[in-house]
Structure 1
Amino acid sequence: MSQESSSPTSSTSARTAVVTGASSGIGAATVRTLTAAGWTVFALARREAKLNALAAETGCTPIVTDITDEESTQAAVDRILAAGPVKALVNCAGGAIGKDPVATANLDDWRAMYELNVLGTLRITQKLLPALKESSGSVLVISSTAGIEPYEGGAGYCASKFAERVMARVLRLELIGEPVRVIDIAPGMVHTDEFSVKRFHGDAAKAEAVYAGVPDPLKAEDIAECVRWALEQPDTVDVDQIVVRPRAEGSYTKVYRQA
């Protein structure tokens, strides 16, 4: 039996996924999970060495891409579409920069978050949407609970993730009647190697304090499994949104920490 016919995602298109932000964290975990489940994966990110290592491990196709850059993104999309149909776009690329109050926030930090979290997601989604319509495919966005509940010091990141979530929701409404699913997965506290370190500009102590005392924060692999599950539902089943947190986190301001 062919891989396609045995898949819960019945379609005439091959199970090919494009994953952005694939060099680390949730993106890399998603590549590992999807390739293990039999998907063909194009892994997009800026860091060539990390992409090549991931390709050697998983068999994915690495494409060095900066989704905040028009030419880089177009070149990646051209290469992907030349290879055949695409079934899913998984928008993992994103990040938080800084945790300053609104009164003293750095405009460049806000601009960088919008360029990556919002405009980067928009750019590659627009370019792949026609192909996804042809394949009865899926647009999946990894947003954040920061796009649901704001918190002090998080205005820039929260604003960008609110925007990303609203973009996904509006796209879902605009595509009613079209053969495309739009899925939003909003993780809470996920302990990855780089997210908080980048947020605090390399300050490892501040980054580790985010998770201090929290029993079993989510791992990138937990979110990747949510991605796989959502994508492998039948084409007519749209998982509009998944909000996923560790058991210890009731909200951003209500987290259980062991002494």
Structure 2
Amino acid sequence: MPTALITGATAGIGEAAVRSFADAGWHVVATGRRADRLEKLAGERVHTLAFDIRDEAARDAALDSLPAPFSGIDLLINNAGLALGLEPAQKASLSNWKTMIDTNVTALVSITHKLLPGLVERKGAIINLSSVAASYPYPGGNVYAGTKAFVRQFSLDLRADLHGTGVRVTSIEPGMVETEFTLVRTGSQETSDKLYGGANPMTGEDIAETLLWVATLPPHLNINALELMPVNQSWQGFAVHRED
């Protein structure tokens, strides 16, 4: 059976994806920072690696230690990412901005570069988790949305570079998904409830099943980019500020 490496596996979409792929018979390498949460996922088909995705030395040591049958990665799911704050740019924390760039952009391209030779050799696949924020601006999106726009464009350009290698690349771009990510983004349960209360948002399991569907398509098919929203979410009109 093929092997998938899923980053950010300790909660939300990543955790759901680990369970979904393992249940489908895949071998799964689940990575994340919180070892206690990863331990709950470990099993015959799931090998866990605890490290901060931004720490390249720890990442390389962990990946280089992978035992068979987990050492040959057929699919990389770049799910690890974060969003910090909803403040307008003029009030935002520069530290938060840098953390989002380091995690959502630098760490993503770094682990992709690390695994790319093996993925080419095995004619594997890469699925990157972007967001509808890559396409639709909103107040407070600033750097988070910018990082997701990078992920989308990086995915498309990877497709161009990997043309003829047999490697598939997909950008998955979800809208409202209610997970622990929401609490980190908003900073409070109350704000999270206001955002998603009554909206019937998507779940981590919804996106996990989509990831599995994309990964198990016939090898001659490639989903370039896939945007998903709950039925109760759509686009807003242009904002207009009127002078008194």
TM-score > 0.5, shorter chain as reference: yes
Contact 1:43 / 1:61 at 8 angstroms: preserved in 2?
yes
2-structure distance, mates of 1:184, 1:49: 29
Q: Which of 98, 121, 125 is the equivalent residue of 2:85?
A: 98
2-structure distance, mates of 1:61, 1:253: 46
2-structure distance, mates of 1:253, 1:178: 42
Report the Cα offset of residue 213 of structure 1.
Answer: 2.2
Residue 160 in structure 1 maps to residue 144 in structure 2: no
Q: How many residues align?
A: 237
**Cα deviations by residue, 1:153-197 (Å, 9 ceiling, x for unpaired):** 1112101111111111111111111121111110000011x1121
Q: Which residue of 2 aligns with 1:235?
A: 219
Q: Which residue of 1 aligns with 2:37?
A: 50
**Cα deviations by residue, 1:97-143 (Å, 9 ceiling, x for unpaired):** 00110111111111111111111111111101111111110011011
1-structure distance, mates of 2:71, 2:181: 33
2-structure distance, mates of 1:222, 1:239: 17
Q: Which residue of 2 aligns with 1:204?
A: 189
Structure 2 vs 1, CA of residues 59 and 114 (structure 1 numbering), >3 Å: closer, same or farther? same
In structure 2, runs of 5+ residues without a counterpart are 239-244
Q: Which residue of 1 aligns with 2:210?
A: 226
Contact 1:45 / 1:51 at 8 angstroms: preserved in 2?
yes
Task: Note the 1:56-135 alignment, pairs <5 A.
Answer: 56=43, 59-80=45-66, 83-135=70-122
Q: Which amino acid aligns with 1:226?
A: T
Residue 55 of structure 1 aligns to a residue whose secondary structure is coil
Q: Which residue of 2 aligns with 1:183?
A: 170
Q: Which residue of 2 aligns with 1:4?
A: none
Q: What is the RMSD computed on CA atoms of the aligned residues?
A: 1.7
Structure 2 vs 1, CA of residues 81 and 125 (structure 1 numbering), >3 Å: closer, same or farther? farther
Contact 1:190 / 1:217 at 8 angstroms: preserved in 2?
yes
Identity among equivalent positions (%) equals 37
Which consecutive aligned stretches of 4+ in structure 1 deviate over 4 angstroms post-superposition?
none
Report the Cα offset of residue 28 of structure 1.
Answer: 0.2
**Cα deviations by residue, 1:211-232 (Å, 9 ceiling, x for unpaired):** 0221x21010010011000000
2-structure distance, mates of 1:89, 1:249: 29
Contact 2:86 / 2:186 at 8 angstroms: preserved in 1?
yes
* Segment of structure 1 superposing worse, 20-29 or 67-76: 67-76
Q: Which residue of 1 aligns with 2:6?
A: 19
Contact 1:67 / 1:123 at 8 angstroms: preserved in 2?
no
Q: Which amino acid aligns with 1:24?
A: A
Report the Cα offset of residue 81 of structure 1.
Answer: 7.4
Residue 41 of structure 2 aligns to a residue whose secondary structure is helix
